[in-house]
Structure 1
């Protein structure tokens, strides 16, 4: 569900019930004052988490973005200007020099957990 690089997770934070995230959609949560977008990519059977802030126009909107894939890479497109970002790496895959912060996620006992690093 995340990048191939090794990520050391310091803590798994219990967030919300997985059932609260619409299939093939997202929701916004707050953790330590930061807005985080949680996505249920039901077509792939995977969950993802990124910052909610779209770096293009500095709007807190990515949780309302459109999910899809590009050449097998799961992505979210900003609902306003359609900038596309990899849900795995946070890289902008629409040719621009933007990047999202991504978080490891897991689902256990019906809840989504957010991996906090460093």
Structure 2
């Protein structure tokens, strides 16, 4: 069984992301939504493309929690997704989000992507 290596890229400064909100980060041809939950000092990253209506909008979505699970709602049609694993929380549809690990080092935010993807998109 092969293991996937994570490539960490510098996304932005932590101060560039609004508290309890999100921003869009471009990595190669990919758009990634980056979120900061200030009240818990937690960071999350997902694809920016909403799989329901195929709109690049999740970084502008409303963030919150559902039974203490962090979530984002698409600003256009309010479908909600878990920021932990990307699954749709609104209904039983099969659509889900890609999620990415995030780390903050010395005020800089890094997002982890699959090394194979990194070689293709950078």
Please give the root-mean-square deviation of Cα atoms over the aligned residues, in Å.
Answer: 1.3
* Aligned residue among 8, 11, 17 for 1:15: 11
* Aligned residue among 32, 37, 40 for 1:41: 37
Shift of 1:117: 2.1
Give the aligned partner of residue 116 of structure 1.
113
Higher relative helix content: 2
Aligned pairs, number = 112
Deviations 1:42-64 (A, max 9, x none): 12210100000001110000000
* Aligned residue among 73, 92, 100 for 2:97: 100
Q: Where do 4+ consecutive residues of structure 1 move more than 3 Å?
A: none
Shift of 1:10: 2.4
Instruction: Tell me the TM-score normalised to structure 1 length.
Output: 0.90
Segments of structure 1 that go 5 or more residues without pairing to the other structure are 1-6
Instruction: Tell me how far apart the structure 2 counterparts of residues 14 and 93 of structure 1 sit (CA, whole Å).
Output: 30
**Does the 8 A contact of 1:9 with 1:115 survive in 2?**
no
Instruction: Tell me how far apart the structure 2 counterparts of residues 43 and 82 of structure 1 sit (CA, whole Å).
Output: 23
Shift of 1:8: 4.7
